[in-house]
Amino acid sequence: MSSGITTPAQLERLGDHLKKLRLNKSGERLEALLQRAATDDLPYADFLEQVLGEEVAAKRSQNITMRTAMARLPFVKPLETFDFSYQPSIDKKQVLTLASCHFIEHGDNVIILGPPGVGKSHLAVSLGLKAIENGYRVLFTSAASLITALTKAHAEGKLEDKLKFYTTPRLLIVDEIGYLPIERMGANLFFQLISRRFERGPMILTSNQSFGAWGDVFGDRVIATAILDRLLHHAVTLNIRGNSYRLKEKLKAGLVRSHDENTSSQQGGEI
């Protein structure tokens, strides 16, 4: 490409154009890219591809950062940080299939069950991050704060807005169902949300309680059955049976016995 001479006035005009078009990355990089194009004698199309490629990559990464903040994740741990070898009861292939996010298009819920510390929240967050990378809007909440928020909104006559808030994101993650018992009103409101989302989009739910115990969690067998009926209509369940990752180091040091040696119960119990 003929390098020509870029005058300071022309650089300034180019900078203004890029600013008006909100092509910020190109604005920052223009001088360096022009310099390189001149030195390497780049063809026109290669130069243009380089400028636009950098801009698109920068916009994508900004977008991911923004949607990650909007998702209110409690921590950011990509799936790549999950050690599958520590948790053999998890079908790694199944999780990698979920990571491709087809379940979102199909409207399948993902329910992750298992005792404390086995990586339920970690997997839920990691799948949430994959959904964000794939362009979906995601929202994370604990079951307790979801129900507190719905109950408060109901009392203030703002339930409709709150239900909208939780149904708008394409993927809703509800963590820690079963850690705290849920009042009748809370169970009813949760059921309303599940019914709304049934048409709208899928959820990832985690629980330390088996489905059989959800009657106690929701304090009402009929509501629990109605909730499960909708959730399980299209759902993938991951049942994690293993040792708490938090105890990994202690187990290694032989300070505590493993879950398998300890008990034959597979789920719901404290370790």
For Mg ion, the binding residues (CB under 5 A) are 121
232, HSE (Cβ side, Cα atoms, 13 Å): 9
What distance in Å separates the CA atoms of residue 116 and residue 118, rounded to the nearest whole number?
6
215 binds ligand ADP (CB under 6 A): no
Structural contact between residues 104 and 131, judged by C-beta atoms closer than 8 angstroms:
yes
Q: Where are the alpha helices (DSSP H) in 168-237?
A: 184-200, 214-217, 221-231
- Residues 88-117 binding ligand ADP (CB under 6 A) are 114, 116-117
268 binds ligand ADP (CB under 6 A): no
Q: Considering the complex, what minimum distance in angstroms separates the CB of residue 193 from ligand ADP?
A: 21
Residue 82 binds to ligand ADP (criterion: CB under 6 A): yes
Rounded to whole angstroms, the maximal C-alpha distance in the chain is 78
Classify residue 182 as exposed, middle or buried by CB count within 10 Å of its CB (0-12, 13-18, 19+). Answer: buried
Binding mask 216-245 for ligand ADP (x = CB under 6 A): -----------------------------x
Give Cα 29 to chain centroid, integer Å: 32
Which are the contacts of 203, defined by CB distance < 8 A and separation ≥ 6?
109, 110, 171, 172, 173, 174, 194, 197, 231
Shortest reach from residue 94's CB to ligand ADP, in Å: 15
Question: Considering only 16-24, 75-83, 127-135, 177-185, which stretch makes contact with ligand ADP by CB under 6 A?
Answer: 75-83
Which residue, 121 or 141, is less far from ligand ADP as judged by CB? 121
Site string for ligand ADP, 115-144 (x = CB under 6 A): -xxxxxxx----------------------
Residue 75: other Cβ atoms inside 10 A: 8
In the bound complex, what is the minimum distance in angstroms from residue 79's beta carbon to Mg ion? 16
Cβ at position 84, least distance to ligand ADP in Å: 7
In whole angstroms, the minimum distance from the beta carbon of 268 to ligand ADP comes to: 12
C-alpha to C-alpha distance for 16 and 54, rounded to whole angstroms: 18
Residues that bind ligand ADP (CB under 6 A): 77, 81-83, 86-87, 114, 116-122, 245-246
